[in-house]
Amino acid sequence: MKCLSTEKIDMDRLDFLFSCEVGALAACRGFPSIVQLLDYSRDEAFIVMELVSPSLTGVMKDENGVTRCHPENEVRHLVRQLLAGAAGMHRVGLMHRDIKPDNVLVDAHGNLKLCDLGISRAFSDVPPYTNPVVARKYRAPELLLGSVDYDSRIDAWAIGCIMAELLAGGMPFRGSSVKEQLGEVLSVLGTDDIREWSGCPDRLPGGCGPTSFLRDMFPSPEMHSTLIAGRPTLSEAGFEVLSGFLRCNPEKRMSPARALKHRWFQPPEA
């Protein structure tokens, strides 16, 4: 049960947030990878949803509270469900705008469900959109650069960050400010890709090279080198998905619907 507090929000804002969340949950009714709406009370500002249990944030940690590395097969299973939830929202014309481990619930059978749809936005709404949205460490480069005419591909970036976090046992980009976060992204992924984006500004953070080092962070299992010892390995197919999500140029970023058709998610041939 979720109660929207009336202490810090005026009534008009509260009514807007309540309507947004209830409307988004209702639009996603029946989607297995999105938490389901059971009931609500506008007068009391209560929303009743199915009981799912802990967030992905807790599941990602070991018994000592340390975020652990997950094997590729497990990551594939989890990411597939995240993509199903995001693709479902996109199919009904909504972008989530705040995908992060805290907003992903895990049931007793290991099934994932997106929750907290309160700041979702319809594609049919005309930009400018609100910015900032999405927790900073899962925020796409176009958002970090101040874009207000972004689209659902910001959800794909966030899922890519979660995928990398599951594999590596830690967040791939950990800036303590918007400027630092953008610098961390570009120091790993390079500036070549974002410079091809039609909305790229003339000036980008200094000290970042042109090319991506993402593959060095997630080498293929076939690569044997002391330089990559201890780093999480990722198959070629898996890396195609990860690098497809973590495209700085949103115009070339892989969408959840497209990713679900990728060979990484297809069952092996008999």
The residue among 74, 25, 68, 73 whose CA lies nearest residue 46 is 25
Kindly report the backbone phi and psi dihedral angles of residue 121, in degrees, each rounded to the nearest multiple of 5, phi listed first.
Answer: -140, 145
Sign of CA dihedral 190, 258, 140, 174: negative
Whether 120 shows a pLDDT value over 50: the answer reads: yes
**CB-CB contact of 35 with 49 (8 Å):** yes
Residue numbers annotated as active site: 98
Cα atoms in the Cβ-side hemisphere of radius 13 Å centred on 196 = 12
- For residues 110 and 73, give the distance between their C-alpha atoms in angstroms, rounded to a whole number: 14
Give the whole-number percent of the chain exceeding pLDDT 70: 94
Choose between 10 and 258: higher pLDDT: 258
Query: Could you tell me the domains of the chain?
Result: 52-265 (1.10.510.10)
Distance of CA 166 to the CA centre of its chain: 12
| Model-wide pTM > 0.75 | yes
- For residues 74 and 192, give the distance between their C-alpha atoms in angstroms, rounded to a whole number: 32
Residue 226, pLDDT score:
44
Average pLDDT along the chain: 92
- Residue whose token pair is 């060979």: 263
Six token digits for residue 161:
């960050």
**121-136: buried (b, 16+ CB within 10 Å) or exposed (e) per residue?**
beeeeeeebebebbeb
**CB-CB contact of 214 with 168 (8 Å):** no
Residue 270, pLDDT score:
45
**CB-CB contact of 72 with 235 (8 Å):** yes
